[in-house]
Amino acid sequence: MKARPEDQLRLVDLAALDATARAADHARRNPEQAARVQELLAQRQTQSTELTRLLGVRDDIAAELSRVESDVAVVDARAARDAERLSAVTNPKDAQGLEHEIASLAKRKSDLEDAELELMERLDLAASEVTAQETLIATTNDEGARLSAAAKADVAAATARLEAAGRDRSALASSLPGDLLALYEKLAVRGTGAALLRQRTCEGCRMVLAGTDLHSLRQAADDDVVTCPECGCILVRTDESGL
């Protein structure tokens, strides 16, 4: 195939646009933050499960404390009633019974108040654990929100690069001979469609050419379309090719 050297040189620009488009498409589909965001989602699920457990512990303690406080109120009411009855009773036996019951109620109240203090301490600890877990979840959410926003911005930027590369490619491709473009497109399906030969090195596969390959290239006319013997891309020759 024959093609003007300047048309062949434009293939390098076309290949660069294709490389830009591929990189932009990959960045658009796979933002670098995606893996960490997925880790944070799993982490938040675990943290939320633990928060649910801690809330249950706290609420159970609060319910038990409420029950004990209610029992203390009942004991106080009963002790007040017995004290009132004792002040009015005249029968020694009845008075002795009331005094015994009042003493038992006092012991019961003391036991309940001890339990109440223990439950209050446990409730404070449980509430602190809930707060700490909520803070942990908030930190995870904050990082997730920040990374998601950054990913969204990166995807938008990559999409813009992809669209710009597409527009520039269309304009450049329309200026190339049809047969040359068709060959490039065929080769580009499996790799780099075209690359410079610089200092006897194919910039498509980074292989240094030598021997008969270089001899064949030296014999080719400037408008001959030649390909790399290693990777098969169109080799674009310039004054820097080292031939």
Residue 87, domain CATH: 1.10.287.1700
Do 127 and 222 lie in one domain? The reply is: no
What is the pLDDT, as a whole number, of residue 85? Answer: 86
Do 136 and 217 lie in one domain? The reply is: no
Cβ–Cβ < 8 Å for 225, 186: no
Separation between Cα atoms, residue 14 and residue 12, nearest integer Å: 5
Burial class (CB in 10 A: 0-12, 13-18, 19+), 242: middle
Do 43 and 150 lie in one domain? The reply is: yes
Tell me how far the alpha carbon of residue 203 is from its chain's centroid: 36
Do 111 and 204 lie in one domain? The reply is: no
What amino acid occupies position 169?
R
What is the pLDDT, as a whole number, of residue 86? Answer: 83
What are the tokens at 238?
Answer: 């310039």
The answer to whether residue 200 is domain-embedded is yes
Separation between Cα atoms, residue 28 and residue 243, nearest integer Å: 41
Out of 129, 156, 183, pick the residue that ends a domain. 156
209: which DSSP letter? Answer: P
What is the pLDDT, as a whole number, of residue 128? Answer: 98
Collect contacts of 70-73 with beta carbons under 8 A, ≥24 apart. Answer: 71/112, 72/109, 72/112, 72/113, 72/116
Averaged pLDDT in 10-residue chunks for the chain of 243 residues: 96 96 96 96 97 98 97 94 84 84 93 96 98 98 97 97 97 96 95 94 94 91 94 94 87
- Strands of the sheet with 201-202, listed across from one edge: 201-202, 194-198, 234-237, 226-227
What is the pLDDT, as a whole number, of residue 99? Answer: 86
Range of the domain at 221: 5-26+175-237
* Global pTM value: 0.72
